[in-house]
Amino acid sequence: MELSFTSLFAGLGILTAGIVAAATIDTILPFLRPSQLQRYLYSRNGKPAWALVTGASDGIGKAFSHELASKGFNVVLHGRNPAKLQKVKQELQTAFPQRDFRILIADATRCDPKIFEDIADQLADLHITLVVSNAGASTATGPGGTGSLESQTLQTVADGVNLNVVFPTMLVRTLLPLLPKDGPAFIVIVGSMADFGFPLLASYGASKSYLNVFAKALGREMRLTRPNIETIYLRLSSTTGVSHTWGPPSLFKPHSTTMAKAALARIGCGRPVIAPYWPHAILSVITELLPRGVQDDVFGKEMLKLQREGLNPEDKTKST
């Protein structure tokens, strides 16, 4: 009997080591593949390639726009604040005088179908080969963008669902007929590790879980109906220089520019879902391997810590 138990535990140990090794290899492989971004930089009928970036006024969206322009793409800058978008456009035009930029104004918390009809009309003349659906944020008003569901107003919850679920879904539906029929196109859905189900981010995390499934299902659908179009869901985590997080970057909290570079480097990596920044990819794997009870404890402690350390927007000038 003792020998049987010894053999059992040895077998379990080998199995566990094998699972960890397989997960490690699976995590590393996509980071060894070169980016396929340039595949989507091509002209058609004399029209140059355009990328559309939602939420381009600041943060990761603005960083995406800079990176794409540096790679040769013309960029449509989406946001709801004309003044901020015009400032970003001027910065980009100065930095990349050979590129063209266009502003697209739309409030992502207001999702009347007529808005998307207008978007289609505004973009119909462009050769769009890359879509970065980046607009999204927690609408909770507590420190660090956190807050219990009960503490939020019904309007705040509705705005968050529109911003994080309805708008990206309706936008992709609007853009699909505009994407090339005879050449490659790519749709990037920016998500979050909040899809693990963090407390104090219930509605936001659920919206990202929706986007995770949406991106995977859309990718499978494209294989059947539009095989020239690929999709990816990017599982982002803590980043500085965004709406609710400021301060100096660190290994596990990179600047938005670093995150945008990492995200674009994963284009064509062969995975439908990926944490594009390698330290976050490691965290994601570790988190998935944790027992449920341990996850609950870790998530609770980390979110309470974020609430204590998070900065409100009015504190932005106090950060370095």
Q: Are 52 and 40 contacting, i.e. CB atoms less than 8 angstroms apart?
A: no
- One of 204, 210, 233, 277 is an active-site residue; which one? 204
* Residue 42 annotated among the catalytic residues of the structure: no
CA 30/CA 268 separation, integer angstroms: 9
Q: Are 174 and 121 contacting, i.e. CB atoms less than 8 angstroms apart?
A: no
**C-alpha angle 200-205-210 in degrees, rounded to nearest 5:** 155
Catalytic residues: 204
